[in-house]
């Protein structure tokens, strides 16, 4: 059975290019979003407009959501005029947001009562990955459901991995977010030391990027930091949300997150000073203010 029409709800920094890639791949899209501007942009690209989550579900066999946090997903999926009221038995719901694993499991149980197949499939790769269709997608749910929607997900991601039962996708995403946050904090601390000692940060980057200290986070974020460009590829406030979810999951599983706790406090400090809507690489500003340096390109 082929997927005839896809619903897409949540056309933000990530959702908009993801939806566009589905249109380019030939899928018929029905879209809904709080911002009318984003809807108009997708309609001009070939999508159809719906005026509520329920209407999206009524007109689609597969519905995708890409929303900020757990309460948003619960409201869109189960709230007034929510997806569940338009879903038919046998339809598929893929939540690609980054939310609490326990919330994903709860929504899945409610969807199951109506015969709806749900998968949680959060992504990593930021705005560039969403635009290029090269996201890493971590999928939880029934294996047979994963196999059915995998071709759809492969339009948006170059690495689509089945990781286990429902909620597992978000658990793996939390693992990812912990590592990324700690990585950014680590190179921020290290670059602050190097710059304070008088070394050009662009030279530091050139010297270390191909060695053991190299990472995708380093390569994607340091060039922008050196330019003083903190336009969000992934907002610091959203990364803090993920870290808060990770701390909750850690408590539920009895796992201490010592380093993560420290980085969370750094994030909260930077956000309190007005950088919540900036890129998560703004973590470096914690060290810049602490040490009294700016990690910026000095080359002509």
pLDDT in tens, 132-143: 999 999 999 999
The pLDDT value recorded for residue 299 is 62
- Looking at the predicted structure, is the pLDDT value of residue 108 above 70? yes
Give me the catalytic one of 173, 235, 241, 285: 173
Mean pLDDT along residues 19-28: 97
Write out pLDDT tens, residues 163-190.
Answer: 999 999 999 999 999 999 999 999 999 9
Instruction: State what percent of residues in the chain have pLDDT above 70.
Output: 99
The predicted model scores a pTM of 0.93
The pLDDT value recorded for residue 300 is 43
Segments of the chain assigned to CATH 1.10.1040.10: 171-291
The pLDDT value recorded for residue 229 is 97
The pLDDT value recorded for residue 176 is 95
The pLDDT value recorded for residue 26 is 95
Question: What sign does the dihedral 122-108-19-4 (CA atoms) show?
Answer: positive
Segments of the chain assigned to CATH 3.40.50.720: 5-166
pLDDT band of 2, cuts 50, 70, 90:
confident
Active site residue 150: no
36 or 103, higher pLDDT: 103
pLDDT band of 1, cuts 50, 70, 90:
low
- Tell me which fold the domain 5-166 belongs to: Rossmann fold (3.40.50)
Instruction: State what percent of residues in the chain have pLDDT above 90.
Output: 95
CATH of 171-291, one of 1.10.1040.10, 3.30.465.10, 1.10.287.1080, 3.40.50.720: 1.10.1040.10
How many CA atoms are closer than 13 Å to the CA of 176, on its beta-carbon side?
A: 20
């Amino acid at each position: 059975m082929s997927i005839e029409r896809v619903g897409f709800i949540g056309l933000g920094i990530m959702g908009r290019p993801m939806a566009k890639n589905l249109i380019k791949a030939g899928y018929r899209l029905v879209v809904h979003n709080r911002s009318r501007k984003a809807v108009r942009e997708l309609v001009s690209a070939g999508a159809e407009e719906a005026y509520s989550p329920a209407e999206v579900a009524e007109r689609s066999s597969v519905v995708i959501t890409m929303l900020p946090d757990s309460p948003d997903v619960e409201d869109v999926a189960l709230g007034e005029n929510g997806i569940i009221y338009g879903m038919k038995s046998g339809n598929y719901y893929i939540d690609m947001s980054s939310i609490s694993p326990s919330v994903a499991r709860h929504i899945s149980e409610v969807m199951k009562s109506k015969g709806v197949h749900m998968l949680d499939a959060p992504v990593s790769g930021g705005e560039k990955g969403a635009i290029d269709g090269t996201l890493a997608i971590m999928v939880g749910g029934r294996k047979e459901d994963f196999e059915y929607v995998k071709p759809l997900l492969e339009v948006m991601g170059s690495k689509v991995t089945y990781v286990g039962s429902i909620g597992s996708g978000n658990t793996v995403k939390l693992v990812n977010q912990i590592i990324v946050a700690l990585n950014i904090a680590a190179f921020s601390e290290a670059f602050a030391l190097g710059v304070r000692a008088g070394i050009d940060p662009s030279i530091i980057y050139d010297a270390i990027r191909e060695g053991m200290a190299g990472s995708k986070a380093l390569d994607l974020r340091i060039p922008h930091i050196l330019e003083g460009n903190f336009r969000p590829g992934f907002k610091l406030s959203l990364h803090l949300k993920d870290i808060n979810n990770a701390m909750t999951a850690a408590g539920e599983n009895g796992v201490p997150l010592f380093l993560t706790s420290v980085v969370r406090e750094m994030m909260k400090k930077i956000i309190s000073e007005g950088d919540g809507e900036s890129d998560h690489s703004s973590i470096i500003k914690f060290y810049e203010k602490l040490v009294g340096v700016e990690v910026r390109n000095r080359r002509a």
